[in-house]
Amino acid sequence: MVLFERGPRGATLTPDGEALYEVTSRLVSALSEAGQMLKSPTVEGGRLRLASDGTVHSLPILDALRRRRSKLVFSIQLHNSDNVIEQVAQYRADVGITAQLPKDSRFHVQPLTTMAVGVFMPADHPWTERQALNVRDSQDVPFVLRERGSRTREVFEQALAEHGVTLGEVMEVSTRDGVRETVAAGFGMGVVADLEFGFDPRLRFLPLADAHAAIDEYVVCLDERRRMPMIADFFRCAHEAYESRQTQRVESTGLNGGGNCAPAGPRSA
């Protein structure tokens, strides 16, 4: 049985290698879960691999988790929404945050938050005097968009199709930061979810007044791994962090401080 193929850019797994990797990954995961279950529930550390479609969703959860586990070590992999699911499915990430709802019954899913999609542009653009845009304003306007597979782009293009709007020249850029810099340089308009826009004095965000263009974000893991203490804690802390953020948006208060994460009610896909 051949497991690897060597090429000019290094070795890659053959189909047999991919199949064996999936099996051994499940075994390693099961051993890890058994080991964690035998440890004290008050463990302070642990390692977590997170795949996410943006850091803005991840950091409040990791902050809550770090308060619970002071010696936590974590890594964040940034991907588009489809690739986040792939990373979790292939055991390359323990949990994922994605705008793509998994259709595979192997996944355990917890809703996280909902964001409105709008348009952003250079701060000196004439449209910045307005409070909102209509979808038809985008007719024949040049845009800078993420690659296909981006949930933000997918939702925006659905709104365009519903209103019969065709964009002008479209430039594809592979990263969110790249889109931001390209828009700031004047190459076209950009599309972003409101919670992901952040603050940049060079740019201005405007909502779409005549479109229900929204993105739902989810926390996902493989259902077989959801009882692992680290992953279960992550889901609880996701609930705590975003319950606090919702309170902040409605009541203009800060995040709840304090110790343990509140209980959550995740579900399976």
Q: What are phi and psi of 20, to 5 degrees?
A: -65, -35
Could you tell me which residue, 33 or 128, shows the higher pLDDT?
A: 128
Note whether 45-112+217-268 and 114-215 share their fold.
Answer: yes
Q: What percent of the chain has pLDDT over 70?
A: 83
**pLDDT class of 253 with cuts at 50, 70, 90:** very low
Mean model confidence pLDDT for the chain: 85
| Side-chain-facing half-sphere of 258: CA atoms under 13 Å | 10
Would you say residue 17 has pLDDT above 60?
yes
**pLDDT class of 264 with cuts at 50, 70, 90:** very low
0.85 exceeded by the pTM? no
Would you say residue 85 has pLDDT above 70?
yes
The string of pLDDT tens digits covering residues 172-186 is 998 889 999 999 999
Domain boundaries along the sequence of the chain: 1-38, 45-112+217-268, 114-215
**Hey, what CATH topology would domain 45-112+217-268 get?**
D-Maltodextrin-Binding Protein; domain 2 (3.40.190)
For residues 82-90, give the mean pLDDT: 93
The string of pLDDT tens digits covering residues 199-219 is 899 999 999 999 988 999 999
pLDDT value, residue 215: 93
Would you say residue 22 has pLDDT above 80?
no
For residues 1-10, give the mean pLDDT: 75
CATH superfamily name and code, 114-215: Periplasmic binding protein-like II (3.40.190.10)
Exposure b/e, 13-47, CB count within 10 A at least 16 = b = eeeebeeeeeeeeeeebeeebeebeeeeeeeeebe
Q: Rounded to an integer, what distance in angstroms lies between the CA atom of residue 261 and that of residue 239?
A: 8
- Torsion sign, CA atoms 109, 110, 111, 113: negative
